């Protein structure tokens, strides 16, 4: 396939592009700087909605991973606006280009997040579960709605509701230092569910979606193993051969991170990958221990 990828240099994109190329696909990376002229790159400017018509016309699939990381820096009004604009501007630019294409792509895969469900305690969350409350829920809903505007008889849309991506460059990397020093442990009560997904499985799931035309709409991109924060900490400690018993109180996390703490670390989301399960996807790293070991070895 000829696949156009935005956010190719990000956490997921940097692993996905080589995976797609190894599978024999032609990958075109969208870049904001002037295109080098190489067939593997194409210029665009989401801020102005600019993208070459030939980039989208005739592509088999578009994978949109573009958006500022939600975990870099405390949230204030300016950061929240950038989190919105970085996602919506890029998505609308791609959707508009799809609408203008003489031969539109058959598939748009658009990133989203399990933040869509909000803080739900022990409730089992499937793709059909109603949206929750809070900033991340609103952000995810707006992002998904922007992507769904591309849906037509010729283009299906898949929304990847991503859990915490277990990769050395992501949240895992930030946890390593305190755990290696023996200072790791549960955050808050440790009873909140953390939904996660190994980076190898993110690539595998995208490949699965490319091959399965029946999959459309939201897809919970999480591992089947459901862990509370305390279990997550114990697993990481076991892999690193370090204790994981020093808790970080909720008030300390809130002091350090503000609103982000409640949305990312203290919220409970027990998410189940029902669509993936029903379509026969075989997880490559179904347990957190496997995902962490894979991430640390790559």
Task: Provide the whole-model pTM.
Answer: 0.95
For residue 46, the tally of other CB atoms under 10 A from its CB is 22
pLDDT of residue 37: 64
Question: Each residue of 78-131: pLDDT tens digit?
Answer: 999 999 999 999 999 999 999 999 999 999 999 999 999 999 999 999 999 999
* pLDDT for res 142: 98
* Domain 2-296 of CATH type 3.40.50.720: yes
Express each pLDDT in 138-155 by its tens digit.
999 999 999 999 999 999
Q: What is the rounded CA–CA span in Å between residue 59 and residue 55? A: 7
Three-class DSSP labels, 182-228: CCCCCECCCCCEECEEEHHHHHHHHHHHHHCCCCCEEEEECCCCCEE
**Which of 52-61, 185-194, 225-234, 267-276 shows the lowest per-residue confidence on average (mean pLDDT)?**
52-61
Q: Percent of the chain at pLDDT above 90? A: 88
pLDDT digits (tens, 9 = 90+) for 26-79: 999 999 875 566 778 999 999 999 998 889 998 999 999 999 999 888 899 999
DSSP 30-98: EESSPP-S-TTEEEEETTTTEE-HHHHTT-SEEEE--S--TTSS---HHHHHHHHHHHHHHHHHHHHHH
């Amino acid at each position: 396939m000829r696949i156009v990828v935005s956010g190719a240099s990000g956490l997921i994109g940097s692993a996905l592009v080589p995976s797609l190329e190894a599978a024999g696909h032609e990958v075109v990376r969208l870049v904001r700087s002037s295109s080098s002229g190489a067939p593997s790159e194409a210029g665009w400017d989401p801020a102005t909605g600019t993208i070459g018509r030939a980039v989208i016309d005739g592509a088999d699939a578009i994978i949109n991973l573009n958006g500022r990381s939600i975990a870099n820096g405390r949230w204030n009004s300016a950061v929240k606006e950038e989190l919105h604009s970085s996602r919506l501007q890029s998505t609308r630019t791609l959707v508009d280009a799809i609408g203008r294409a003489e031969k539109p792509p058959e598939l748009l895969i658009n990133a989203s997040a399990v933040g869509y469900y909000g803080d739900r305690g022990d409730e089992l969350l499937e793709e059909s579960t109603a949206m929750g409350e809070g900033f991340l829920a609103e952000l995810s809903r707006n992002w998904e709605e922007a992507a769904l505007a591309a849906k037509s008889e010729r283009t299906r849309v898949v929304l990847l509701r991503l859990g915490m991506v277990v990769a050395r460059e992501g949240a895992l990397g930030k946890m390593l230092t305190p755990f290696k020093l023996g200072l790791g442990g549960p955050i808050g009560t440790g009873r909140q569910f953390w939904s996660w997904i190994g980076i190898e499985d993110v690539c595998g799931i995208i490949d699965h979606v490319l091959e399965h035309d029946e999959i459309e709409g939201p897809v919970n991109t999480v591992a089947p193993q459901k862990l509370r924060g305390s279990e997550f900490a114990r697993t990481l400690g076991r892999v690193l051969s370090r204790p994981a018993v020093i808790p970080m109180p909720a008030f300390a996390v809130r002091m350090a991170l503000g609103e982000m703490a409640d949305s990312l670390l203290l919220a409970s989301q027990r998410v189940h990958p029902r669509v993936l399960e029903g379509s026969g996807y075989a997880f490559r790293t179904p347990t957190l221990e496997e995902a962490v070991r894979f991430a640390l070895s790559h």
